[in-house]
Every structure is written in structure tokens, then in C-alpha cells.
Amino acid sequence: MTLRAKLLATYIGLTIAGVMVFSIFASWELKGYLDRRAESELKAHVEAVAALVRGGEFPPHSLPDHETTIRRMARSLNLRLTFIRKDGVVLFDSDVPLDSLPNVENHLSRPEISASRSGEFGLNRRESATVHEEFLYSATMVVIPAPDGTDTMYVRVARPFSDIQMLDRQVQIIIWAIGVLSIIVIAVVSSRASRGITRPILDIASSARAIRDGDLSRRIPVTSRDEIGTLASSINDMAEKLGNDIAQLKKLERVRSEFLGNVSHELRTPIFSLQGFLETLLDGAVDDPSVNRDFLEKAHKHAGRLNALLNDLIEISRIESGEMKMSFRFMPLADFLREVTGEMSSAAAKKHLNLAMEPGECADDKVYADRDRLKQVMINLLDNAIKYTDDGGSITVTTHREGTDWVCVEVADTGSGIPAQHLNRIFERFYRVDKDRSRDVGGTGLGLAIVKHIVEAHGGIIRVESTVGKGSRFMFTLKR
């Protein structure tokens, strides 16, 4: 073996060893980073739930009444939520049925609970004695108002450690895949030319370390089209993908936070109103015939609003998660629209509105749609038109063709209209143009978001045109 061959073999061997050491070190560093990040996110979730408890959204004495909301919130965030009385008795656990709570051990001696007594966050990783799964726990002590001053309880949030391990494994696979690719590329290139390799590899290692340390804007200059250039491009693509993933995670976290805030805000009003009416009745108003029926009717109205809001939340959750099943068939469009407008005519008549259906050129057309879901779209649009059109106005349902394959359904009214600055957000969840009036007429803020999802599930698009003081036109397309 020549000296050059020996040097090349030594170089390749050292390079392979270096790549392996780097991959091991990067895996170790990234695992530590992911663990710290998981702990930080878990603490943020604990603080968010604790804030809801302090704000009265989840009163300790009536947690079972909020079972559906808490379990849905826990599922959406992939978390386990536990509420623990100050003496260690578990009041509620999102992973434990209500009838099994009496069998749950006292949690006062749990490490995270013990650590949280000082007012700091308690953190612990172990296997749950209740559900027999390994979790990362974080807990904090919450001070809440009580009739005789203040009271305390513990809020605990846990995340299955398998989720953290899965992400860790995925990252390690990427790191080791890059390491293996690096070894292959280096071996091939080194067999042809041992010179000119050290500098590009060092550049790649430096950039990889920077990316590992969080500098996802770092890029490797691609100066050739050989294997080293390919490797540099691969790492650049990986950095770009990781940057996009992290941005997407931050966006998702922001959307979840906004959604949680919106839900809390929307639920607070009817819950507080119900609580106020019922407390007044319990304080003696129930025996006063001049007010008791009025208070009961108001309480019933707010309960209905709360029920409508929860139903819409469940509906939009089913749509966005893909659980809503669609049953598409060809159906006569004009007959369908006449049926729906006929059902809504009594509501329009109460406000002396002229509700008309004009099929136009699409009188004999059939559309490919889910009848029940399409009816949900039309009832939402017509209900909104009736609510926001003053007495004596008119609502017209018309159709026309768009191209050879599409039919456009239009719901036009002579109502108050929508200001231009609101039009591009009108289909967002919980977005209201006039919040006070929306609540007065019974809106949940989710109707148009549901309409948009259903239309898009049909492959169509929905749009709106409006002029303040003259009315609005909602238009959506369906496949012929």
C-alpha cells in the first residue's frame, strides 16, 4: 500500500470517526434541547390552566360539570389534566373516568406536588400509578378566592413521555441519516482526490453545529455539483425544513392559545349569566312571582346559547379533524333550494321579510353534494340574512353557472351590510363584525367558519360582497 493510499485510508477512517462522534454529540445535545423545551412548554400549559382556574372558568367544587370541556381541551393539546385538592384528593383527571376517581391514590406525596408547595413549578418524570404509562409531570399551586378568604388547590399537567421520545427518535434518525450520507460522500470523493475535501467538510461541520445550536438561518455555500455540494444542499434543505417546522409549531401554538382564549371568553358570558340568575333565584327571588319566571327564561336562553356554542365547537372540531364523513350524491339543486327556503319562510315572515328563490338558468341542474351538509350551509346563510336584515327587507336565493362544471349559489339580502375592512376575516372562527349585536341575535361566532369548511370539503369556494347600508351577497360554488 502506498503512502498516499495509507494517508487516504487514515484520512477516511478519521473522517468517519469524526462524523460518528459528531452525530453522537449532536444527538446528545439535541436530546437535551428537546427535553428542556418539553419541560418549558409543559410549564406554560400548567400556567395557562392555572389562569383558567383563578379566573373561575373551572371552579374546584364543580369540575365534573365541565368534564366534556376539560377532556376535549386535554385531547386537543395531547395532555393529561389533573386537579388536586389541597389535602391531596384528586378532584378531576382527564384520563380517569369520574366514577373511578374515589379509587385514585392520594397525590399529596407525589414529587411534583410536593415541589409545588413553595409556589414554584414542580417537575417530575415517572410511570403513572393510575394509567400505567410514563409521563412528564409539571404542577403548580393555585390560590383561588373562597367565601372565607382564599383557598388553594393544585393543577397538574402531564404529557406522555412517548411523544417526546418519538420526536427525539425522529431527530436522531435525521442526524444519523446525515452522518451516514456524509460518510458515503466523503468516501467516494476521497478515493478520487484527497485534497480539497478538508475545507468543505469543516464548513459543513461548522454550519451543522450552528444549525444544531439553533441558528436555522445558517446556510452552507454550494460551490460545486459533486457529492459535497449535494451534501451541503441536503443540509441546507434540512435547515430550511426544520425552520419551517419550528415556525409551523409556533404558529400552531399561537392558534391553540388564541382558540383557547376565544373559547374561554365565549363560554364565560353565558356561564356567568347563568350563575348570576340562579344565585339570585336561590337568594329568594324564586318565591317572587314578579321576577322568577323572567329570570328562569333568561337562564334558559343563556343555557341554549351555551349549548349552541358547544355544538358548534364539536362540529368544527369534527370537520377540522376529518371525523366528519361526507356522503356525496347527485341531487336536483332547484328542488333542494326550494325545500330549504320553504323551511326558513316562517322565520322570515316573523320579520315581514320577502324570502324568494329564483333558480334562473340552473333550474334543471344537478349538483354533486352531501345533502345534509349542504342544508347546513344554506340554513346558516339564510339564518344570518334573516337576523341582520331589518323588518320589511328582502332575501333572494339565486343560481347561475360558472364555466361548464360549476354552479354558483347566491344568498343576497338587503340588510345592514358588512364594512369592507371586515370582509377578509368574516369566515374566521369567533370573528364578529358587531360583537354586541351578534350576541343579541344569538350568534356563536362559528357559523360562517363551519360553512366555509363544508363548502371547501365539496371542492368549492365561498366569497362575500357587501355594501354597508345596502346588504350582502354570499356566493359559493358546487360541482355539477
Backbone φ and ψ for 159, nearest 5 degrees, come out as -125, 135
Cell numbers for 234, please give them.
441536503
Mean pLDDT calculated for residue range 301-312: 72
Residues 319-353 pLDDT 10s: 777 667 788 999 999 999 999 999 999 999 999 99
Mean pLDDT in the chain? 82
Cell numbers for 137, please give them.
409531570
Which of 263 and 29 is assigned the larger pLDDT? 29
Mean pLDDT calculated for residue range 279-291: 78
Residue 281 has pLDDT above 90, yes or no: no
Q: What is the pLDDT of residue 316?
A: 72
User: CA 245, CA 93: separation in Å to the nearest integer?
Assistant: 32
For the ranges 133-147, 405-419, 439-453, the maximum mean pLDDT occurs at 405-419
Mean pLDDT calculated for residue range 358-380: 90
Q: What is the pLDDT of residue 130?
A: 78
Residues 428-450 pLDDT 10s: 877 777 655 555 555 667 888 88
Q: What is the pLDDT of residue 21?
A: 74
Are 235 and 219 a contacting pair, CB within 8 Å?
A: no
Starting from the edge strand earliest in sequence, which strands make up the sheet with 149-160, in order?
Answer: 90-93, 80-85, 149-160, 134-146, 122-127
Q: What is the pLDDT of residue 141?
A: 92
Q: What is the pLDDT of residue 8?
A: 61
Mean pLDDT calculated for residue range 88-106: 91
Mean pLDDT calculated for residue range 353-369: 91
Which of 260 and 282 is assigned the larger pLDDT? 282
Residue 225 has pLDDT above 80, yes or no: no
User: CA 404, CA 427: separation in Å to the nearest integer?
Assistant: 27
Residue count (the chain): 480
Q: Which residues pair with 159 in a beta bridge?
A: 136
Which of 196 and 263 is assigned the larger pLDDT? 263
Mean pLDDT calculated for residue range 304-327: 73
Q: What is the pLDDT of residue 443?
A: 61
Parallel, antiparallel or unpaired: strands 354-358 and 394-402? parallel
Q: What is the pLDDT of residue 413?
A: 95
Which of 446 and 463 is assigned the larger pLDDT? 463
Question: Per-residue confidence at 4, pLDDT binned at 50, 70, 90?
Answer: very low
Residues 131-142 pLDDT 10s: 788 888 999 999
